[in-house]
Amino acid sequence: MDRQKALQIVKKQLTDKRYEHTIGVMETSIQLAKKYGADVKKAELAAIFHDYAKFRPKEEMEKIIISQKLPSQLLDYHSELWHAPVGAYLVKEEAGIDDEEILQAIRYHTTGNKDMTLLDKIVFLADYIEPGRKFPGVDHVRELSQQSLDKAVIQALKNTIKFLLDKNQLIYPDTLETYNSLMKKQQMKEDFN
| Portion of the chain with pLDDT greater than 70, in percent | 99
In tens, the pLDDT along 50-81 reads 999 999 999 999 999 999 999 899 999 999 99
Tell how far CA 188 is from the center of its chain.
25
Question: ∠ at Cα 147 (145, 148), nearest 5°?
Answer: 70
Please give the CATH superfamily to which domain 3-192 belongs: Hypothetical protein af1432 (1.10.3210.10)
Candidates 22, 76, 77; CA nearest to 44 is 22
In tens, the pLDDT along 154-166 reads 999 999 999 999 9
> Phi and psi at residue 104, in whole multiples of 5°?
-65, -40
Q: How far apart are CA 37 and CA 85, in angstroms?
A: 25
**DSSP state letters, 145-158:** HTT-HHHHHHHHHH
pTM of structure: 0.95
Give me the pLDDT at residue 193, please: 60
Query: What average pLDDT is seen over the chain?
Result: 96
In tens, the pLDDT along 98-121 reads 999 999 999 999 999 999 999 999
So where are the chain's domains? 3-192
> Within 13 A of 187's CA, how many CA atoms are on the CB side?
6
| Portion of the chain with pLDDT greater than 90, in percent | 94
Question: ∠ at Cα 105 (176, 153), nearest 5°?
Answer: 45
